[in-house]
Structure 1
Amino acid sequence: MSLHHVSRRQRRFLLVLSLVAAAVSASTVSARVPDQYASGGNSHGYDMAPETRQEVVEAAVAALPASNVRVSGPFQANWDSLKKNYQVPTWFNEAKFGIFMHWGLYSVPAHHTEWYEKHMYGADRQWHASHFGDQEKFGYKDFIPMFKQEKFDPDAWASLLKKSGAKFVVPSAQHHDNFAMWDSAVTRFNAKQMGPGRDLIGELAKSVRAQGLKFGVSNHGIENFQFINPPADLIARLKAKKADLYDPEWADFYNVADRSDEACKKFLVDWYLRNVELIDKYQPDMLWFDNGVDQRYLDPLKLQIAAYYYNRASQWGKQVSLSTKKAAYSPSNQNTETVASIIDFEKIGERSPSGIRPGAWQVDEPIGSTWGYAEGMKIASPASIIAKLVDTVSKNGTLLLNISPKADGTIPQEQQDTLLAIGEWLEVNGEAIYGTHSWTSFGMGGGRNEAGPSIRFTVKADNLYAIVIGAKPGAELLITPLSTATVSGRVSQANLLGRAENLTFVHDKAGLKLQIPQNLKALPAYTVKITGLKMNPASATRSGNPDW
């Protein structure tokens, strides 16, 4: 049943069914397949959030500078005001493809994952000691001088990202490790005062915008407060020597030695001020938060951030948005009722919608086997990423593709090659991606046990695009969802994007029959532009939520 062809009452019934299915799935450890809309809420437990109480959060809010809390504008720090005044930026609905990046200190050891800091005081203790020395002599802080970014060329990066076909760029301004990648007056643990000696975020922002791309930042810093959890014997060793995690000079960097309520309050105020600084210095088009902001007891602080950000954007005359996971900005605890934030899902096929989800959403997906750069990481092929992009857009989503720069400031050639190949494909086929919306069906084929090519649909104006993934030149196609018994109108023309001549076809009750031309270069996907059928309207909504 198509979402666009059911009544509002039926839609609500379908939503209830999907929520029940999600709840049953969540109770089954082995079940990882998302429901059609991926309509779940927050996970149980802290999920990387500071393990604190709402009264501590409220004390932090009370300690915020009055100049921030009272910034003028239409947005107030409450759900009703955010809901009334927010709308998804037009540029986001049209973009469909952005670049994310995990860029930070963890690329120096380049081992295991971007969670190196956590693992070097835990499961990878021995590996770290054998490669860099014992933790009391060489802690995570000692990677900072090695994070030189000496080859970082923001203009070259921006040129590459433009050529990839991406429309917006969201680098990590701060990861779980509490190191700020910008020139900060809030924290001394920043890239201008330490390590590279450069305002990395500021330089990249200028270059990216010069290419005509939107620029956002991600902040994972809320997860720092309890990110490191060493075993008792290591704690005792470091405490006795007042070393590394227990060195008073680095206490505010690690947030391990003191996890009292007062320390948590101070941390939360610091997190807020860092976000305000990012907002004011770089006017980000998107401010992206990771899982750690999910918990409801953090709402008083999150509301302050949202009101400040949107009021400042109103003063700038810019369309901007928060982007958050699960139900971080949904007081009802269902992500289909998110307030003033674009919902983000982590990894295609694991947590993202399995079908068309109306409104606005995005999915962040790594280009390689890890998020941050690690030696030996495997990079996905252009064909694999293009297939994921097409599948995501056909379901009304946006792909946020993560890349992994190195500690010397370079983007590895294998990643560059994949990005350039995606851009080359989009030069011809971007018409079927940018500014499109979902059709009544997202496609056919592509199931786990299905052989042969798969097809995904997108719509722009009166045109239907059938993007054929995995077909060889000369392949014969029968597109069964286009049966004359089910579609409105009759196909009048079909042509392949990038070629002027029309394709010969037969349109009947079996579907649309046509053939991919023989004399073509082999590509990851071909796009057939189809005219003559009556198209459904766009499913964009002001709130970004499905319009129930």
Structure 2
Amino acid sequence: MKFRKATLTLALLTAATGLPLRAQNQGVHQQSSQYEAPTDPLVRQKLEKWQDQKFGLILHWGLYAVPGIIESWELCSESWIERDSTVAYEDYKKRYWGLSQQFTPTKFDPEQWARVARQAGMRYLVFTTKHHDGFAMFDTKQSDFSITQGPFRSNPRANVAKYVFEAFRKEGFMLGAYFSKPDWHSENFWWPKYATPDRNVNYDIRKYPWRWQQYQQFTYNQISELMHDYGSLDILWLDGGWVRPRETVNAEVRAWGAPIPEFSQDVNMPRIAAMARQAQPGLLMVDRTVHGPYENYQTPEQRVPDHKIDNPWESCLTLANNWGYVPNDQYKSPTRIIHSLAEVVAKGGSLLLGVGPKPDGTLADEAVTRLREIGQWLDVNGAAIYNTRTTAHYQDGRTYFTQSKTGTRYAIACLAEDKPTPTVVEWAGNAPKKGSRMTLLQTGKPVTWTRQGNKVRVTLPATLAKQAGAYPALAFAFTAEQ
């Protein structure tokens, strides 16, 4: 298909080099430098519950899965976006919009997704109900640009978001709806009267306030549909941090390097939040990077912070190189993800891992295999991850420390990949109480430990060393010295 050939340039570059696509660098959301804790008791209660889950799944799935490209970023006409130079920009946009008539995920299987996520040890979900391209993966009445208006409309499961949420709800997951504040398909965001030079609204809102008011209402109405028609939800995860009140644009935002207009792109978050929380009491609002009362937790993207953070946060990382499905993508090893999970949790965060379903509605076999391997480790070591909180001394080299709410201390020693399991593990700090017992979670049995000054030395069972590369990390439980 000509469109596929024209739009796979970046995807093929990633497959050849092993490097993340540039869009993932330029389109990334950095972490806010400020945090304002919520005051609503129900929100605080839900936030505490969310902080217990530790490991979540974010599913990017939409039109971009059909050609296998980097979400919908190629629609954006900024200098870092690469497209086929023989295709005019307006023609490219028409072709992209035309994918809505080709998206027929006849093998759509949300039960498989939920089952695999549970097997992976995940506890919460964020599903992309609408990315920046404006294509709704739910039955919106505000636009005809949706999964329920294309060739999939006759399928009994055409209202994709409904069945995704139902499948994960049955598996006991906390549920989040990803929603893009910018909508590049809406004529009230990208007005056809003008060119679309970048990711922002393409007209001066100060000159045409009536048009922006229509967009505000459109956004409010779509979020209202999600909040009222899809059962109980826990998180409203709002992407597109450049769409924000002008007064919240600070040096941190300018450092992104993205164009910043001289007018406000305010979608009226107080009104949206009031409606959403009336429908979903205690709802967590995640207005990414817009620090204030509607960013209940922070979301550093494609990185793990270099220090412990006391307020709620999650690292958004991808299992492969891309958020959405890209053919021949390069997947990270289960060991690498487990090490990231241990580091994130020890520093006070949660890990939201990105996977992109294929255009037919199934998960790639390689993704399934790796997720299950992660889950096998969590099956026996999960006590060191779930329901834990930070310790004052949270890291020593590649060993990370957590503690349960009842005071049990955990040391998670991350092991080198594809090398024999060591016979001894050592770390500094977080010494066990004198004469106390230390348990290796992998076996459930006690291990011998000694202390010399500030250093703890643990002798491992000889049987462990016989299995090279079998253990991404070893977790130990003990009572710490006060």
Aligned amino acid, residue 289 of structure 1: L
For each residue in 1:356-383, what CA deviation from the matched residue of structure 2 results, as whole angstroms up to 9, or x when unmatched? 2123211211111111222232111111
Q: CA deviation at 1:109?
A: 1.6
Rounded to whole Å, the distance in 2 between the matches of 1:441 and 1:382 is 26
Matched, 1:430 2:395: no
Closer/same/farther in 2, CA of residues 434 and 123 from structure 1, 3 Å limit = closer
For each residue in 1:3-31, what CA deviation from the matched residue of structure 2 results, as whole angstroms up to 9, or x when unmatched? xxxxxxxxxxxxxxxxxxxxxxxxxxxxx
Q: CA deviation at 1:281?
A: 1.1
CA contact (8 A) 2:413 2:473 kept: yes
For each residue in 1:471-523, what CA deviation from the matched residue of structure 2 results, as whole angstroms up to 9, or x when unmatched? 5423322211135xxx8x43611121031331111124132111233312421
The aligned residue for residue 388 of structure 1 is 340
Q: CA deviation at 1:128?
A: 7.7
Matched, 1:343 2:298: yes
Rounded to whole Å, the distance in 1 between the matches of 2:472 and 2:115 is 24
Q: Following superposition of structure 1 onto structure 2, how do residues 120-269 of structure 1 map, counting pairs within 5 Å?
A: 123-126=81-84, 129=87, 135=91, 138-197=94-153, 198-222=158-182, 224=184, 260-269=208-217
The aligned residue for residue 93 of structure 1 is 51
Q: CA deviation at 1:292?
A: 3.4
Closer/same/farther in 2, CA of residues 514 and 191 from structure 1, 3 Å limit = same
TM-score, with length taken from structure 2:
0.77
The aligned residue for residue 464 of structure 1 is 409
Aligned amino acid, residue 338 of structure 2: I
Aligned length: 417
Rounded to whole Å, the distance in 1 between the matches of 2:340 and 2:188 is 34
The aligned residue for residue 504 of structure 1 is 448
In structure 2, which of residues 3, 8, 33 is the aligned counterpart of residue 40 of structure 1?
A: 33
Rounded to whole Å, the distance in 1 between the matches of 2:447 and 2:393 is 23
Rounded to whole Å, the distance in 2 between the matches of 1:323 and 1:532 is 35
Q: CA deviation at 1:186?
A: 2.1
Matched, 1:103 2:70: no
The aligned residue for residue 471 of structure 2 is 523
Aligned amino acid, residue 193 of structure 1: Q
Rounded to whole Å, the distance in 2 between the matches of 1:459 and 1:347 is 26
Q: CA deviation at 1:135?
A: 1.0
For each residue in 1:394-443, what CA deviation from the matched residue of structure 2 results, as whole angstroms up to 9, or x when unmatched? 01101111111121112111111111111111101111111000111221
In structure 1, which of residues 426, 442, 447 is the aligned counterpart of residue 394 of structure 2?
A: 442
For each residue in 1:313-372, what CA deviation from the matched residue of structure 2 results, as whole angstroms up to 9, or x when unmatched? 23xxxx43112322x141xxxxxxx556222221223xxx32221232112111111112
Rounded to whole Å, the distance in 1 between the matches of 2:126 and 2:310 is 23
Closer/same/farther in 2, CA of residues 119 and 163 from structure 1, 3 Å limit = farther
CA contact (8 A) 1:323 1:341 kept: yes
CA contact (8 A) 2:38 2:296 kept: no
CA contact (8 A) 1:175 1:220 kept: yes
Question: Which protein is bigger by CA-based radius of gyration?
Answer: 1
List runs of 5+ in structure 1 lacking aligned partners.
1-31, 43-78, 247-253, 331-337, 446-453, 535-548
CA contact (8 A) 1:114 1:371 kept: no
Q: Following superposition of structure 1 onto structure 2, how do residues 237-386 of structure 1 map, counting pairs within 5 Å?
A: 260-282=208-230, 283-290=232-239, 291-295=241-245, 296=248, 297=264, 301-314=268-281, 319-326=282-289, 328-330=290-292, 338=293, 341-349=296-304, 353-386=305-338
Q: Specify the SS of the correspondent of 1:147.
A: coil
In structure 2, which of residues 425, 429, 437 is the aligned counterpart of residue 493 of structure 1?
A: 437
List runs of 5+ in structure 2 lacking aligned partners.
1-27, 249-263
Superposed CA RMSD in Å reads 3.5
Q: CA deviation at 1:212?
A: 1.3
Question: Which of the two has greater helix per residue?
Answer: 1
Closer/same/farther in 2, CA of residues 343 and 122 from structure 1, 3 Å limit = closer
Rounded to whole Å, the distance in 2 between the matches of 1:167 and 1:128 is 46
Closer/same/farther in 2, CA of residues 157 and 288 from structure 1, 3 Å limit = same
CA contact (8 A) 1:106 1:116 kept: no
TM-score, with length taken from structure 1:
0.69
Aligned amino acid, residue 511 of structure 1: K
Q: Specify the SS of the correspondent of 2:149.
A: coil
Closer/same/farther in 2, CA of residues 220 and 150 from structure 1, 3 Å limit = same
Q: Specify the SS of the correspondent of 2:322.
A: coil
